[in-house]
Chains A and B, each alone.
Chain A
């Protein structure tokens, strides 16, 4: 039953790489890694077939041995392909010798050349010129088939020996890799393949060789998988950091654009009024334009400075009862909504506790309720803002639903990122502040629905503060 042990251990590389698919998705690198790991598994299953001497017929074993030798033949092109994908993802444009060597040896052309040679030799493998026959032999514990090679097997041995050069070139090429984690992965797979290759080549000489093979497969698979995960996690982390930076830049860009637009309007009024007055036309209305416009510009500058100061992107998060927080925010805003004749209805959940910045999140609720109340026309039949607090999985949800006149769908996103106001005295920063605060809490804010009967805005915030745990590690 030794062959079952070898089969299980041999399945490890392909299982691990399949696991990577689940973890990281179907990327170009995941695929290249999977194909490469398949060759190791097939190589091991090739050995497995030989040890199934007492369980399978001679013909079946001969078929399986020839079939699974695909792993040995394809190991070089698929290794070349894996390194090629890694080198291309590193983006190194160095003119050093190692970088140029890497670009030549691990090019698409090399991959195709190796693939063609491998397929030709694999075809010969199915003839008696490569594997002539099998003969029954035994270890101290079990029987196994010994392979008798034909005259053309020398081609296979010669071809496989070039693998050592490929590994050497790969090692040299890895010196030009910029990323430390990618370099570590390439060096690891180099070392692992070299070990597997050497152990595989001397297989069957001592009778305990299968134990050695299995052990090496076990250890190298673990090493390869670990370095792959380390490299991929780092890449994902960098990618998410890049996205966050991009989103921050977009946010700042949108804010700046909309602020510039607002200032252009105010300047048109103030400067235009001053120019007209200077031309000799007297008008009380234009003097008022200048006074009010200047005040509004001052208000905008103050609000923007306050927004930049208060919108801390790394707020201190502390455990708080979210129900009390929302309830306090509503109490605070009630005098304002009452002045507009708007009723605020709150449906809470006493048990929700989460790590939040209380004062910042309270301000978000205040902003959303105020905004909702202001969106309701004075002559509306129903003047209501509903605030619903609930939880879903590891997050809590605050829904704010008003009976206002709605927001055009094209503006569902931009209202949180643009400086927008239709009110002469508004700062126009309430929703951008809410957006910034919710993002700082690693949450989401958005319009769920909006039409002429009202707008539904949803805030979703994680209850834990797991990113702090990550930042300790980083």
Chain B
């Protein structure tokens, strides 16, 4: 069965955490946009978790890529940025939800599960 969640995150330990957390859904990841864009058959991903700051990547470019290639996937932004409010103002429309790091992982899981149920019922 194909993985349902895609993660764009540069920190391997956080990717590990997501992989265990969403084991039942299956997680594919890229540590940067180049690696992420190489993921096979992207259109089946239902949720995309995106980190805001990835060394070497421009966030707007990454977002444009995700919107273009995974148009139906729910997008969640996870940010360690100092000013999360300004991110919410700028990107609020582009994401189902913005989580500030350190993320409440249980809440994140519940939210993703809700999205998945919606996704399944839809």
Contacts and interface: CB of A to CB of B under 8 A. Distances in A.
Partners in one complex: yes
A164 B78 CA distance: 72
B43 to A, nearest CB: 28
A275 interface: yes
Contact of A276 (B10, B17, B81, B100): B17
Given A264-B102, A268-B101, A276-B21, A257 B82 contact: yes
Interface stretch (A30-38, A137-145, A281-289, A338-346): A281-289
A268 B12 CA distance: 12
A272 B80 contact: no
A269 interface: yes
Contacts of A271: 102, 105
B81 A261 contact: yes
B48 to A, nearest CB: 17
A418 to B, nearest CB: 11
A286 B103 CA distance: 15
B103 A272 contact: yes
A285 B16 contact: yes
Nearest to B52: A261
A420 B10 CA distance: 13
Nearest to A262: B80
A267 interface: yes
Contact of A269 (B17, B19, B104): B17
Given A281-B20, A293-B13, A408-B56, A265 B80 contact: yes
Given A279-B106, A286-B16, A422-B55, A268 B21 contact: no
A292 interface: yes
Interface string A272-309: 11011001010101100100110000000000000000
B106 A286 contact: no
A281 B23 CA distance: 10
A260 interface: yes
A268 B82 contact: no
Interface in B1-26: 10-14, 16-17, 19-21
Interface string B97-115: 0001111111000000000
B53 interface: yes
Contact of B105 (A257, A275, A285, A292): A275
Contacts of B14: 265, 268-269, 272
Contacts of A420: 55
A458 to B, nearest CB: 23
A292 B11 CA distance: 13
Contacts of A257: 82
B82 A265 contact: no
Contact of A275 (B11, B78, B106): B106
Contacts of B82: 257, 260-261
B105 A272 contact: yes
Contacts of A260: 82
Contacts of B100: 264
Nearest to B103: A268
A267 B99 CA distance: 14
Nearest to B19: A285
A141 B119 CA distance: 110
A273 B17 contact: yes
Given A260-B82, A265-B80, A285 B101 contact: no
A268 B19 CA distance: 14
Given A257-B82, A264-B80, A264-B101, A269 B21 contact: no
Given A261-B80, A281-B20, A276 B105 contact: yes
A265 B21 CA distance: 17
Contacts of A264: 80, 100-102
Contacts of A279: 106
Nearest to A272: B105
A454 to B, nearest CB: 16
Nearest to B82: A257
B17 A268 contact: yes
A267 B53 CA distance: 16
B81 to A, nearest CB: 7
A276 B78 CA distance: 18
B20 A276 contact: yes
B20 A265 contact: no
Given A271-B102, A275-B105, A408-B56, A265 B11 contact: yes
Nearest to A260: B82
Given A268-B80, A276-B105, A261 B16 contact: no
Contacts of A424: 12
Interface string A112-150: 000000000000000000000000000000000000000
Contacts of A276: 17, 20-21, 105
Interface of B: 10-14, 16-17, 19-21, 53, 55-56, 78, 80-82, 100-106
Given A265-B101, A272-B105, 17 more contacts: A264-B80, A264-B101, A264-B102, A268-B14, A268-B103, A269-B11, A269-B16, A272-B102, A275-B104, A275-B106, A281-B20, A286-B16, A289-B13, A289-B16, A289-B17, A292-B13, A422-B55
15 contacts: A264-B80, A265-B80, A265-B101, A269-B11, A269-B13, A271-B105, A275-B104, A275-B106, A276-B20, A276-B105, A285-B16, A285-B20, A286-B17, A286-B20, A422-B55
Of all A-B residue pairs in the complex, the 9 with the closest CB atoms, nearest first, are A267-B102, A272-B105, A264-B101, A264-B80, A269-B13, A268-B102, A283-B20, A268-B101, A275-B105
